[in-house]
Structures are given as C-alpha cells and as structure tokens.
C-alpha cells in the first residue's frame, strides 16, 4: 500500500528549512518519500501506511517549524 498525504508547514524560509523538514519527516516510521514546496509550505508525504498526524507534527516541530 502506498498512501500520499499533503500537510501545510509554516515558517520555512529557505532551502535549509526545506532540508530540515524533509530530514525529520523522513525519519517517521513508514515514510517512503517527502516532497516539500517552499513557496507554498506544502509537504507531501508518501508512506506505506496512513500516518498518525501527531507523528508528522512532532517531526515538523523537531525541525523547528509548525503544521498549519
């Protein structure tokens, strides 16, 4: 199974921010891929199972940003 879910993350201002969010979200169990669009804050996460939003939120916050 492959699940794709898009979240909105606020506070990213540059490519370093994108890299930080990508890195942390990739560590969430089950995540296969992370695609971040800096301009819109949209973070699309592909995973083997539906993700617990709390886990994604924690990863985003660990990177220093917020889920909208």
Residues 1, 2, 14, 54: which binds its own copies (CB under 8 A)? 14
- Residue 20 as a binder of its own copies (CB under 8 A): the answer is yes
Residues 2, 13, 39, 54: which binds its own copies (CB under 8 A)? 13
Q: For residues 62 and 68, give the distance between their C-alpha atoms in angstroms, rounded to a whole number.
A: 15
Q: For residues 40 and 52, give the distance between their C-alpha atoms in angstroms, rounded to a whole number.
A: 23
Residues 2, 16, 39, 54: which binds its own copies (CB under 8 A)? 16
CB 20 within 8 A of CB 64: yes
Span near its own copies by CB under 8 A; candidates 8-16, 28-36, 39-47, 50-58: 8-16
Q: What is the DSSP letter of 52?
A: P
């Amino acid at each position: 199974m492959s699940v794709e879910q898009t979240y909105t993350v606020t506070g990213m201002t540059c490519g370093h921010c994108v890299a930080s969010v990508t890195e942390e979200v990739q560590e969430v169990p089950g995540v296969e891929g992370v695609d971040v669009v800096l301009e819109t804050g949209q973070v699309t996460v592909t995973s083997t199972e539906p993700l617990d939003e709390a886990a994604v939120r924690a990863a985003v916050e660990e990177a220093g940003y917020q889920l909208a």
